[in-house]
Amino acid sequence: MLFDSHAHLDDKRFDEDRDEVIARAAAAGLVGIINAGACMQSSARSVALAQKHDIIYAAVGIHPHDAKEAKDTDYGQLAEWHSLSKVVAIGEIGLDYYYDLSPREVQQQVFIRQIDVARQLNKPIIIHDRDAHGDVLRIIKKEAKGLTGVFHCFSGSLEMAKEVIRLGFYVSFAGPVTYAKDGKLKEVAANIPLDRLLVETDCPYLTPQPFRGRRNEPAHVKFTAEEVARVRGIEFEVLAQAATANTKQLFGIGL
């Protein structure tokens, strides 16, 4: 019953066995995968994957790493892709002050312009936030009123998670919640409302235990879901059903 709410199956690390990886996901019982774009080329590949595979849905957007490459014409293309039924969100978008691969002012401008596209389309947004909590929240509060979306691979505090939820957003957990040292993230997973929780792989990155150190793939989302269920003290099936329902609700899938 699981739904991988954030993957990058268009990444070159899947070039040798992409179809087999997708087949393993279906065999593992996944009912869906959101493939998130990271740049215009990646977004185009994401759309193509969604058109080819029933299990895959696409998000399109410009990651903060690539914000410096954004062109004025890109925003119209992001909107145009949403004429296709399986394109369900703008993402992933946001701020990354850890790597700073694009100037921070440029990251913010591109983030805001993509939020505006989402507002015009009434589509959810998928937010990347690394070491930029304050500016991300400030921009969301000012620019994203009335929108919903998800803070993917959440890395903030419980207090921040509560604020994110108060603003109408969801919180998604990836492989790091399975790491023994990440007690803060386990606390968040244990205490946020069940109806605001998603699970993801962010593959090929952030592989959960027990496969940490190897390439991640959608079938591994069950290990993240199992750990979230464990820290919440609930049955895996209850967690899986809720997280999948939340993903479908957020992205308007099968409603």
254 burial (CB, 10 Å; 0-12 / 13-18 / 19+) is exposed
CB burial class (10 A; 0-12, 13-18, 19+) of residue 80? exposed
| Token duo for residue 189 | 């997973």
**DSSP letter assigned to residue 254:** -
Known binding residue 133? Answer is: no
* 220 annotated to a ligand binding site: no
54 is written with which tokens? 């029933």
Token pair of 127, please? 């937010």
Q: Return the DSSP state at 132.
A: -
82 among annotated binding-site residues: no
Report, in angstroms and rounded to the nearest whole number, the Rg of the chain calculated over CA atoms: 17
pLDDT tens for 136-193 read 999 999 999 999 999 999 999 999 999 999 999 999 999 999 998 889 999 999 999 9
- Domain 3-251 grouped into CATH 3.20.20.140: yes
pLDDT confidence of residue 141? 98
Record the pTM: 0.98
Residue 217 assigned ligand-binding role: no
- Extents of the domains making up the chain: 3-251
* Mean per-residue pLDDT of the chain: 97
Question: Using one digit for the tens of pLDDT, what is the confidence trace for 204-254?
Answer: 999 999 999 999 999 999 999 999 999 999 999 999 999 999 999 999 998
Mean predicted confidence (pLDDT) in 32-55 = 98
Q: What confidence tier does 255 reach under pLDDT thresholds 50, 70, 90? A: low
Position 182 scores a pLDDT of: 80
